[in-house]
Chains A and B, each alone.
Chain A
Amino acid sequence: MPKDTGIGAPTRRREDVRFLKGAGEYTDDIKTYGQTVAVFARSTVANGIIKSIDTSAAEAMPGVLAVFTGADFAEVGGNPAGWLINSRDGEPMKEPKRPVLAHGKVRHVGDAYAAVIAETDREARDAAEAIEIEIEELPAIIDVKEALTGDNFVHDEIGTNQCFDWGWIEDNRAATDEAIKNAAHVTTLELVNNRLVPNAMEPRCSMATYKASDDEYILHTTSQNPHLTRLLISAFVMGIPENKLTVIAPDVGGGFGSKIYHYGEEALVLAAAKRIGRPVKWTADRTEAFLTDAHGRDHVTKIELATDAEGNFQAFRTETYANVGAYLSNFATATPTFLHGTLMAGNYTVPNVYVNVKAVFTNTAPVDAYRGAGRPEATYSLERVIDKCARELGMDPIELRRKNFIKPDQYPYASAAGLEYDAGNYDALMDKMEEVADIKGFAARRAESEAKGLLRGFGVNAYIEACGIAPSNLVGVLGSRVGLYDAATVRVNATGNLSVMVGAHSHGQGHETVFPQVVAEMLGIDASSIDIVHGDTSKIPFGMGTYGSRSLAVCGSAVVRATEKIINKAKKIAAHMLEASETDIELKDGSFTIAGTDKSVSFGEVALKAYIPHDFPLEDIEPGLEETAFYDPANFTYPSGAYCCEVEVDPDTGKVRVDRFAAVDDFGNVINPMVVTGQVHGGLGQGIGQALLEAARYNSDGQLESASYMDYTMPRADDLPFYTVDHSQGTPCTHNPLGVKGCGEAGAIGSPPTIVNAVIDALQSGGKNVTHIDMPLTPHRVWSAMNSA
């Protein structure tokens, strides 16, 4: 029987009541007296020198209050990269300035070079169209390999398009090369991890208000991490003191990574609000979202897998070109390196791993972390080459993986890519997957498909990822310029209900439901009396926000620590009230009891006493009942999983239909299984979207050809199968108090190679010697591959 409250209960998401009724309050819903509108003028060419900008006609148009150009921000700071990567030769990465508005040069289609503030949206748009700009167009730099030849640079001041050339682990390079040279078998695969547009349902939106009397700013914005945004604006870009800037991220309609970052539009509305003395709001339209949200993935990789004659893995070696776009977004340098290279040992006891990543500037939108962030790229490379290897060796793909799995008695396990895995059981996941997916029935299902003229394929995948981002001391050594702890304040109000202020931000994750389950379990009280406060820097402690499946593992741990402090103090108060020793007080079912007696006081009575301390021993106990904790994890967490799927391919058209999909994940302990299932479903949808449908495609002129839903294929319900999801095989994380690992990205990490492996299997079953197709596996690509095999 599942519990109906507390930890482990499939409690329905309380936030859904307002979302499903259309009562959520998003940034664009917030209307302020005197509000004005900002509209940006954006480059229609990918690369060019700004020869002149004339804003005079725009400034004279009706309703126009101000016009800004890059010159207005020439003196303010650049939007920085949050992670310093050093190249193999020890040289630090190249960090060209990312300005608020393009100045001197435009570097991608959509690059904003001016902004108009006007009374109405139409007036602002009319004026933006009236800005005259003369641009000397230069050839667009689009292809990552071509970008590293020649003398046409995205940023002339650095004299190269290479941001860095990173080796991981450089000291392992020679041994890896040697292992590959001497191996009985080497499988080589060249592949592209396709570029994606995040497509949050709510486009980005920012509204700034300036209060001249106090020289204070309030920024409402679509952010996954309001404190990080404030820090970037204050310390790097605008120089506004942190105590004069409040950042509020209210309800946010999805982020998937794209709303982690600080964008120039946020700085612009702040500057504009001060100049005109009125609130300024900018809301992206969908075209702006396509052109300017940080994109995801975009790796070009060659991977080699060396094995001995029996299929024991000897080495993985990769060479990757990672497109970072025109400017470094805040985590653009961490994503292809420490969130990718460190996972390149997978779930396996491979002794040698060497990863080389060249990050390359191009005239495209910035590329940064997108659901999974580096781990999908690692998993895809590994699990595709392993599948190819199994076929070459004539081995069963499940058996080849099992043969090389780290075994349960090997933890903690130091992987060849530099991480220490704390817990896992990959064979148990594979066992469960084989059971729930009814693998035994595959042959009969294949025969049925063939009778219909369709090719059925089976694909399997095992993944590991690193979540709970991240131990500050470790990431500091690796180049992070920030810490990655999180924070929580638990405030017990006098009447016994609780407000829990958290640094994590909920934009679809279900924090408002899940965090109270944890606190309720610890205090033995009803979760309905606990509310979460998040998203407002004036209300919450300094937390680093939500990404990297970190909310529960890191911020949830801070909630636990703060709640423990509450319990300790409440016990003191209870002991005083019961005239007993603090060490004799037990908390059970919401009451404080003297052990071995029936003398007790309720949690509510203790709360009231904390705020009406008439007879307190003030030398021992302070009034009030409110505690804050910061939690910095000791290690990453390591969710893992075994996925499989079956597809049907129509050989006449190349169309792929996903018929079945089973995802068996180890998320450690599960607080709310329904929320976890929902997270897996969402991740699978995005991963299947990447595998079959989605592609951000620039042409050689740097125009984004898939810049609308007419050409960018989002997954729809009828593209997706019913899923079999299981998370019964959890091995608790050993180093955080909840034993949780994180579930937000797993589906997007594990599914793309599963799908591609299945399609290759289907084509092979039809006698087509196709060994690889680059994602997305559109009907045309599959048909073309079949007809050239």
Chain B
Amino acid sequence: MEFFHKQTRIAFMSTRKVWYALSAVLMIGSLGALATLGLNLAIDFTGGVSVEAALPSAANVDAIRTELERAGFREPQVGIFGSSREVAIRLPPDDSRSVADIRARVEQALLAVEPGAEVRKLDVVGPQVGDELRTSAVWALTFALILIFIYIALRFHTWRLSAGAIVAVMHDPILVLGIFSVTQTPFDLAVVAAILAVVGYSLNDTVVIFDRIRERFEHNRRLPPMVVLDQAINQTLSRTIMTKVVTLIVVVALLFLGGPVLRGFSEALMIGILAGTYSSIYISSAIALDAGLTAEHVFPTVKKTAADDMP
């Protein structure tokens, strides 16, 4: 079996303006959504309480909410998830109480309304811990990007390729964040992990294509750069698609079978992998091309002597 029996000859580069426009729209939309809607941060980052309980009979959501309010909690969110006999409670952080006190009160309130409730999961995160996790997540992303920039700068000898790789690497996590913002999917620590993995994977594709660009230039340095870039993408296309299909198989398995804990994680990976495939094919090389990449930049022909530099 083969996706492409013959070597494909798709002219990727000639349509690049279209993809620039699409990506620009996606980026502006994502950043706009992040700025206006923000992310639906899970208690990992905000602090607060999250409870999941299984009940013997259908949950009386309103009664639980009232009881929580009576126990002194502001804005309790009580909802049903899974079946009507599974209830999820979410409370905002409360500076004035100790973690131990909060837990005791929530449990009490729940058991007062639903005596047979089995608390399956109860997380109480102090506001300070939430703040710190938020900071460390931002640091992790920043730091990963810095390291990757350094890697790219060292790896490709010309800034033209580096620029392409950096834009592609920024493109994918922003899109993931944008979609999480628009859909208000809960954003927890695992999603941060997924985004970092996406950054790694997306760069991986770009690197493989750039590797091939270098090889093509080495092979025939007289060809116009646009042709070389198209060749490189076409020659690696079946690998790109094959790898993505296989990775998507496992991510889909995770998404549908991994349960609610891994849902956000799997969704982020799924979006990121699709975006990464697109950006490494259409964006990273195109930017290098528009930055004026030629064989000369990849393999400088004449070694300059000191005399050449003289005016």
Whether chain B is bound by chain A comes out as no
